[in-house]
Amino acid sequence: MKRRLHFSHWQCTSCGRKYQRDEVTYLCPTCSIDYKPGMPLPGVLEAYLDYPALAQELDFADYRNLSLKDFVQRFTVLESRHFPPLPVGETPFFPVRRLLPELRNLWIKNDSLLPSGSFKDRASVMMVAEARRLGISKIACASTGNAASSLAALCASCGIQAVIFAPASAPAAKLTQIKAHGAELHAVDGTYDDAFKAALEYSVAEGCLNRNTAYHPLTIEGKKSSGLEIFWQNGFKVPDWIIVPVGDGVILAGIHKAFADLKRTGLIEKLPRLLAVQAESSDAISSYWESGVYRDALKPQTVADSISVKTPSNAHWAVRTLKETNGAAIRVSDEAISEAQIKLAAQCGIFAEPSSAATLAGLEAALEQGIIKPEEQVVLLITGHGLKDISSFKV
Ligand SMILES: *Cc1c(COP(=O)(O)O)cnc(C)c1O
Ligand SMILES: [Zn+2]
């Protein structure tokens, strides 16, 4: 069925300037004029919808009767005909009782069951759809592994060329996925932050689309679908807490955007509180949140490769989500992550990669510190599959 899009415009999260759909591609041109790789991205753009029109349509459709897919689609900013054939979304949301018996209302959203095994598919599917809309046949991307394997899979499903810049140290399974899907892999002798820069240079030189996280606004916008699904699957109720593993802070912003859209549409009044969980050594967003002053992570080195980031691209928006949701940030050690990984596997059948298990470690710390109360409804966001990095399991 053909449906009207409710996309209105892009708005700069720094200066508030508005741009029409095809007036800009990446960052706010005014705010990013002095941008150089190696700093959090300035002028990240946020998609605004025509909220009154959307509210009217949802009301008319009696939104509580819509299917999950139909409900989420109403909020999308891209025409459905551009989407690749590989379906992304509708992952399970379910209560877990054995994990922490003192928590009566603990739930899991298992996004490790997306096609390439990570949350990144929610952004990649949008970037591939955007490339198809614009008639672009190649997309470049920097990644610690998951964004790349995800882009590679979605590109493969519709014949677009993915060009990947990843640190040579990425887990073997992720590099295998990238190659199996036929992507062009440039192993970068350096860190993720070096790969970020290399991918930017490449896409400028080649004139192709760039999927670096937070750089293209659809990478954030795409990730909101998980939050919208949680709302539908939770019986149109807002959980008290959603616990999110944080590297660049794009998943965090995506979840925030979902509930911001629901609020702007008048479907909810209160946002869920967001708990950002970071590895101790990769804590740039946590320290920014606590001190109000940005600094890089000093020496990111963690078993949780997917959240190992020195300079988080989306640091500014990430901190704003914590302010606006009355959220919190927490650091967890590699030991706590590994223990949580085993607990998730052995006590609820969830085989998660370390970054995702960090959410459980973060929950335990937040309970201990009294940030989260046992009677509250808590959602753990499981973002990546354990099979992507079996060498990290301390079994
Ligand atoms: C990318 C990723 C994260 C962190 O997301 P950011 O947007 O970088 O904060 C967490 N878990 C997994 C499995 C990921 O791939
Ligand atoms: Zn701006």
Angle at 142 between CA 385 and CA 186, to 5 degrees: 100
Q: What is the largest CA-CA distance in the chain?
A: 55
Phi-psi region of 62 (alpha: psi -120 to 50; beta: other; left: phi over 0): left
For helices 224-233 and 250-264, give the axis angle rounded to 10 degrees: 60
pLDDT of residue 205: 96
**Rounded distance from Cα 213 to ligand 1 centre (Å):** 10
Mutate to test the pocket of ligand 1, among 218, 248, 360 (most ligand atoms within 8 A of CB): 248
Mutate to test the pocket of ligand 1, among 41, 116, 118 (most ligand atoms within 8 A of CB): 118
Q: Where in the chain is the domain with CATH 3.40.50.1100?
A: 93-118+217-392, 121-210
Residue 47, both tokens: 């998609």
Phi-psi region of 61 (alpha: psi -120 to 50; beta: other; left: phi over 0): alpha
State the pTM of this model: 0.97
pLDDT of residue 2: 60
Phi-psi region of 138 (alpha: psi -120 to 50; beta: other; left: phi over 0): beta
Q: How far apart are CA 5 and CA 215, in angstroms?
A: 23
Mutate to test the pocket of ligand 1, among 307, 317, 356 (most ligand atoms within 8 A of CB): 307
Is there a contact between 344 and 350 (Cβ–Cβ < 8 Å)?
A: yes
Q: Which residue has the tokens 């969980």?
A: 277
pLDDT of residue 190: 86
Identify which of 348, 389, 330, 394 has the alpha carbon closest to the alpha carbon of residue 110.
Answer: 348
**Rounded distance from Cα 292 to ligand 1 centre (Å):** 23
Q: Which atom of ligand 1 is nearest to the CA of 146?
A: 15
pLDDT of residue 40: 96
Q: How far apart are CA 91 and CA 226, in angstroms?
A: 8
**Rounded distance from Cα 118 to ligand 1 centre (Å):** 8
Q: What residues in the chain have per-residue pLDDT under 70?
A: 1-2
CATH code that applies to domain 121-210: 3.40.50.1100
- Record: fold of 93-118+217-392: Rossmann fold (3.40.50)
Residue 113, both tokens: 């069951």
Q: Which ligand is nearest to the CA of 253?
A: 1
Measured between its terminal Cα atoms, the distance across the chain in Å is 50
Q: Which atom of ligand 1 is nearest to the CA of 250?
A: 7
Residue 379: CB atoms within 10 Å: 27
pLDDT of residue 171: 87
pLDDT of residue 287: 98
pLDDT of residue 192: 82
